[in-house]
Structure 1
Amino acid sequence: MSPQPQAADSLIWISGATEGIGLGLSRTVPYDRARIVNLSRRRHPELESHYLDLADHRSLTAVAEHFLRELAAFRGQRAIFIQNAHLRGMTGFAAETGAEDVARDIAANVAAPLLLGDAFLRAVVESGYRGEAGLVMMSSAAARSPYEGQSIYCAGKAALEMWVRVVRRENERRGRSHIWVTAVRPGFVDTGLTRHVAAMADRDYPVASTLRAQLVAGGQAMDADSAARQIWAALPARQSLLLFGEQVQVEQPGGG
């Protein structure tokens, strides 16, 4: 593990920083003297890592305690948490997937991101940290598009974006001007997760064939580092949703 700055001016947490967009975000942090912490089940080969399992409530509690402990001791200029981690769920039609898998998917990909977002904000408030505090919740085009075979994923992202909109208003009402919160739809990015769902059977995930065609065509999907640089360039965010190119479009039955 490479050494982190001893007198960090920026404290950056990125969940799922070991692959995909999370890895890209960790490689392109634009701040000097930044301490970067990976929150993941897997350790990062170079970065400081703290264990996070989205499906384990005890892990979420431990991360919440970690946020509070670190922010109470932090004296730098900014603290940012990017909730990017996603547990690969059992993509498939409702009522056709095992009940235990559905429950795990909901816990990890709907409830956990909101619990982590709340934990970070709670830590900022309770620690008394008064520097710039930013929360980035990674969303998806699935927040607005009813992709068949991804009912839980779509519901989770839609809930996440509404949560962000409400929390921004609450922060304004409470006069927490040093805290900003935003959701990000990064568009069509070529990641392991993208290729994972693109390889699924069309019967279970009809948009998979569209994804495969766009990946084969080339030039339509952005690489993770380029997407990450765009995201960093847009922060701190002045709106509740940062929207980047959304390449995947499919017709929905019945007008969607």
Structure 2
Amino acid sequence: MKTFIITGASNGLGAALAKLCLDRGFRCILVARTINQELYHKTTQTSGRLTFVSADLTETNQLESVMDEIISHLKNDVDELYFINNAGMVEPIKRIGELDIDTFVLQAKLNYLAPAILTDSFIKRTQGYNNKKIVVNISSGAAKNHYEGWGAYCSSKAGLEMFTRVAGIEQQREENPAYVISFSPGVMDTNMQKVIRSANETDFADSARFHTYKEKGMLRSPEFVANILIELLLEPELDNGKFYDIKELIK
């Protein structure tokens, strides 16, 4: 049984991934602060294939316990294991020198520390697992490109990108390696995009461009992106540590 562990699964890409996986008959362990009610109502229809783990991933001192709970829900029939670090936030959208420090710290925890700690914890706890195991850190073009007003977001995603590369190259030397990759979904029609569009041009110089994406229907649906990612993960071979950009995967 393929088992998908997905963080930030209450909405957006996380929820779309969960729905797609369940429709394909896979098992899902969903990690989020709040439960997606549409998914919750599927529990009686999925024959024990859906489990929820309630967690605030900004509470970094609790993440080892969160991973313990996740692992406790794994079944003996797991043949492929996928862990998708999807939770993230774009706030604060402010120029450096004007950042809201409390929000900046929360973002650093959610965008970088949480996926990094959870990746480390996942690898540690699955060292003896001989079958296919993949960690996906949801990334962004902001991991490689700078945008005015996104100093906090760009730096957190860049940090996670480097962490992913190091983890990938280290795993190449392991007897039972995990594959650790980044995936950039591009611009999606999600709540994060609403937050971006709400920023003014004083704080975010590219604000007008993101309004244009919405007005011209250029935002991809989370369902479309989820399908591209799942098809990628079901490929027989992946490059460990690689940054996969959706633009290079769309045929």
TM-score (norm 1): 0.84
Q: 5+ unaligned residues in a row in structure 1: which ranges? A: 1-8, 247-256
Which amino acid in the other structure matches residue 22 of structure 1? G
Match of 1:65 among 63, 68, 73: 68
Match of 2:35 among 35, 39, 43: 43
Q: Which residue of 1 aligns with 2:47?
A: none
Q: Which residue of 2 aligns with 1:234?
A: 232
Secondary structure in 2 aligned to 1:28?
helix
Alpha-carbon separation, structure 1, partners of 2:186 and 2:100 = 30
The farther-off stretch of 131-140 and 229-238 is 229-238
1:122 aligns with 2:124: yes
Alpha-carbon separation, structure 2, partners of 1:25 and 1:104 = 25
Q: Which residue of 2 aligns with 1:91?
A: 93
Q: For residue 35 of structure 1, report the CA deviation from its aligned partner.
A: 1.8
Change (3 A) 1:48 1:54: same
Alpha-carbon separation, structure 1, partners of 2:60 and 2:111 = 12
Which amino acid in the other structure matches residue 123 of structure 2? L
RMSD between superposed Cα atoms in Å: 2.0
Q: Which residue of 1 aligns with 2:147?
A: 147
Alpha-carbon separation, structure 1, partners of 2:21 and 2:99 = 39
Alpha-carbon separation, structure 2, partners of 1:41 and 1:158 = 25
- Identity rate, percent: 24
Q: Deviations over 1:174-228 (max 9, x none)?
A: 2324x2121001112111111221121111112221100111011x211110111
Alpha-carbon separation, structure 1, partners of 2:170 and 2:211 = 41
Alpha-carbon separation, structure 2, partners of 1:194 and 1:34 = 29
Which amino acid in the other structure matches residue 79 of structure 2? Q
Q: Which residue of 2 aligns with 1:156?
A: 156
Query: Retained in 2: the 8 A contact 1:64–1:116?
Result: yes
Query: Retained in 1: the 8 A contact 2:29–2:51?
Result: yes
Q: Which residue of 1 aligns with 2:2?
A: 10
Alpha-carbon separation, structure 2, partners of 1:76 and 1:38 = 16
Q: Which residue of 2 aligns with 1:102?
A: 104
Alpha-carbon separation, structure 1, partners of 2:59 and 2:89 = 11
Query: Retained in 1: the 8 A contact 2:20–2:226?
Result: yes
Alpha-carbon separation, structure 1, partners of 2:202 and 2:227 = 36
Q: For residue 33 of structure 1, report the CA deviation from its aligned partner.
A: 4.2
Alignment length (residue pairs): 233
Q: 5+ unaligned residues in a row in structure 2: which ranges? A: 41-49
Which amino acid in the other structure matches residue 222 of structure 2? A
Q: For residue 34 of structure 1, report the CA deviation from its aligned partner.
A: 2.1
Alpha-carbon separation, structure 1, partners of 2:90 and 2:144 = 20
Alpha-carbon separation, structure 1, partners of 2:171 and 2:95 = 37
Q: For residue 75 of structure 1, report the CA deviation from its aligned partner.
A: 3.3
Query: Retained in 2: the 8 A contact 1:67–1:119?
Result: no
TM-score (norm 2): 0.85
Q: For residue 134 of structure 1, report the CA deviation from its aligned partner.
A: 1.0
Match of 1:25 among 17, 24, 29: 17
Q: Deviations over 1:104-131 (max 9, x none)?
A: 2222222112111111111211xx2222
Which amino acid in the other structure matches residue 12 of structure 2? G
Alpha-carbon separation, structure 2, partners of 1:155 and 1:228 = 25
Q: For residue 82 of structure 1, report the CA deviation from its aligned partner.
A: 0.4
Which amino acid in the other structure matches residue 67 of structure 1? I
